Amino acid sequence: MMKRTHDNKKVYRNILLSIILSIVITLLVSSSILHFNFDNIALNQVYESDSNSLMQTSQEIRTITGTATSLSFQIYRDFVISKLLFYDKPDIYDVTSAMQQLNNYRFAMPFIDSIYVYNGKSDLFYVSSDNSQSGIQSKSTLGDQSMVDILDHFQDYTPFLPVPRTFNLVGNAQLTVSKVGIYSYLCYDAININNSLNSAVIVNISESFFNKSLKNITNSRSSNEFIINNEGLLLSTDGVNPVLTNYSDITYIKKIIANASSPGYLVDTVDNTKSLISYTAPDSLGWRYVRTTPYTIITKEIKSMRTKTIYISLSILIAGLLISFFTSRKLFDPIDKVIRSLKTLEIEKRDNLQILRQDFLRNIIMGREAYHPIALQEKLRYFGSKITIQHSSLLIIVKIDHFTDNVNKYQDQFKLLRYAVMNICTEISSPTFQAEAIDMGDDHILLLLTAQESDFEWDHEAFMAILHKMQTSIADYIKLSVSITISPLQDHAGQCIHLYKQLLEASYHRLFRGHGCIIWSEEIMEYRSKEYKFPTHKEKQLVDCLMTGDSTEAETIYADIVNETAEFSYSVVQLAISHLTLTVNNVLNTINKNNAIALPLYLDTTTASLNQVETIEEINVQFYHLFELLYKKLDEKRSSKHVELIKKMNDIIEKDYANQNLSLNFIADELDMSPIYISRLYKQHTMAALTDLIQDVRMNKSKELLLHSSLSVAEIAEKTGFTSDSYFYRKFKKYNGITPNDFRKQYTQNSAPSIQKGIDV
């Protein structure tokens, strides 16, 4: 009786709270609507004012850009200054006159901080400035080293567009260092064969002038203004941070960058103060002008209206609470009777029936339990299943694509998504089949479909339409992609139970078919009978490409080897990937031992397990990334000078292979270089020794003469640079496993009947 009284009080309390909650929510919604309307009006008015002011500043800065551009052209065309630009060594009078002219230009426009004239031939800067850098400076002595870096990469900068930057300026006493903010306008000439920099004029405008333009904005609300670019870099000091400070991690800057092409405003926290942030669209320079205003200043005018609204809402709330108290007493009795009836029904129903049903079906499919067909049918009926095991049946595996990503994304909610996938699949298949969806864990569910009628006729097109509808519905309703694998149609459900393992193996071929694929297990099982032979010749080609750093060809050969396994069993795929992983790591070990690259590279051997891989692209990306990294490392070791030197060595060997004196010392004498140096260089860049190459060339030439001439072995030995025919015999057999005479007999039996005699070499 006490429990019943407690339950009654709980019901009454819930009714009362529901009514109160309804009243509170209604008041909150209505008050919020009024609140936001007031705020939006104020925000729109301030934004219109800010937008006009910021556009005015944008126009002023574009005017400065136009002025700097015109000045750069004028300096470049000035006859007096042109001698600094184009003469290798202008005389002192020309330099003095030109520097005076530069100073005149600078003094004529007070916003100009400095002017640099750069001569590409002499590699000198002629600087007009108020600081100690004024005069003639080389690249190494120029205090503005960031400009040296800009000119070294001038192709990355657009002429006549301001380049915001900072640099450390050393004072006259060489003891003080100050950080200078500057905006540079480049005008350069790079028209030559090498596309290198001939000359340049750089006009530098001080940061303080840009800031002055920002401060001139009409500002009666204690606002702060600054400029950023599309990447969130600060282009004008805001009084706290220097130019080029990275603001991209600030929350409200991220929102501005996300709105890539439009002006607007937003309300966010700036320096722990809620503020209105107004911003412009990117101008022709790609700059955006931002103004922040404390929110309290904007909303000051509407505080009184908000206070009145709160008082009215509180009055309504108090009245509503009194009404709800009396109303809830009247509603309690009929609701209490309904609740008692529902509780009685809940006690009589078994809540865990669905859980037991899933466990039973999983045990049957996994072979953990076995039943006679009649007993199995009775068990299914007990759990409320409509499956008829004597009718035609088949199994379907539905795999969730991007499984790991989706689990991390939805976390605890992912169980509900799996349940939704099961419901969608059973509902779509129900018009044609009786369906049971079984949660097999991991990334897939299993569908057991049995025909509704005993005289079921298979319709392939209709069945494919069902599968496509499953995929489409899952994508539309729960935003997941699934891949489907289908077993062959069986005469009864008992036969399907034993197909699960081979169906699961067939589903792994999603690796090549891709996400959202439909796989027929019968087709995949035919791959088991095919014999696979690993293409060792392609493996050798892959090794050669990796050793020489040819990443493009290595990717092509690797892709050929992997794609060939697509029509074999899944175990073949695993073995092929494992073999390739071992091969690539062996190549990397060899290269590392030869000191061909500065840092050791290795391929993660866990890649070959394929446990966490859904598509072959995920494997390919790891191989391709390693190939590209290896190419870059090897390419760093090469230079045009070394390549040319190696070519000369190869040419000497090709030309003088018949000379018995051809050796490492002979080649060194020809090149007037140290034998030790050229030997080490050749080994480092080709992974082969020069002496080995000499022997290889001579041996290949001797094979040609054996096959395509009637010269004796002694004559061939002499013409290919061997010191004696006996030495030739020994070397030939060591290289080829057979004697020269046996080689000629073995390989000329099937050759053309006409053999040229006396071929000269």
**CA-CA distance, 493 to 504, in Å (whole number)?**
17
Averaged pLDDT for residues 207-216: 68
Averaged pLDDT for residues 731-752: 80
**CA-CA distance, 560 to 701, in Å (whole number)?**
33
Rg of the Cα atoms in the chain: 41
Q: Is the dihedral of CA 228, 230, 232, 234 positive or negative?
A: negative
- Pick the residue with more confidence: 238 or 660? 660
Look at 84-98, 338-352, 718-732 and tell me which has the smallest mean pLDDT: 338-352
Q: How many CB atoms lie within 10 A of CB 73?
A: 13
- β-bridge partners, 267: 276
**CA-CA distance, 140 to 119, in Å (whole number)?**
14
**Closest of 715, 716, 692 to residue 702, by C-alpha:** 716
CB 746 within 8 A of CB 702: no
Look at 51-55, 605-609, 700-704 and tell me which has the smallest mean pLDDT: 605-609
Say whether pTM exceeds 0.95.
no
Q: What is the pLDDT of residues 478-533, one digit of tens each?
A: 899 999 999 998 888 888 878 888 888 889 889 888 999 999 988 888 888 888 88
Question: What would the 3-class secondary structure string for 470-501 be?
Answer: HHHHHHHHHCCCEEEEECCCECCHHHHHCCHH
Averaged pLDDT for residues 606-634: 80
CA distances to 127, 167, 240, 539, 757 from 291, in Å: 36, 27, 15, 62, 91
Chain centroid to Cα 594, Å, comes to 32
Looking at 406-475, which runs of residues are DSSP E strands?
A: 433-439, 444-451
Tokens standing for residue 595: 């000191």
Q: What is the pLDDT of residues 298-325, one digit of tens each?
A: 766 566 666 777 777 777 777 767 776 6
Nearest-10 Cα torsion for 696, 702, 704, 710: 180
Percent of the chain at pLDDT > 90 equals 8
**CA-CA distance, 577 to 610, in Å (whole number)?**
9
pLDDT band at 400 (very low <50, low <70, confident <90, very high): very high
Question: What type of residue sits at position 222?
Answer: S
**CA-CA distance, 446 to 418, in Å (whole number)?**
11
Residue 601 has pLDDT above 90, yes or no: no
- Give the SS3 label for residue 125: strand
Strand 264-270 relative to strand 224-229, pairing: unpaired
**CA-CA distance, 344 to 335, in Å (whole number)?**
15
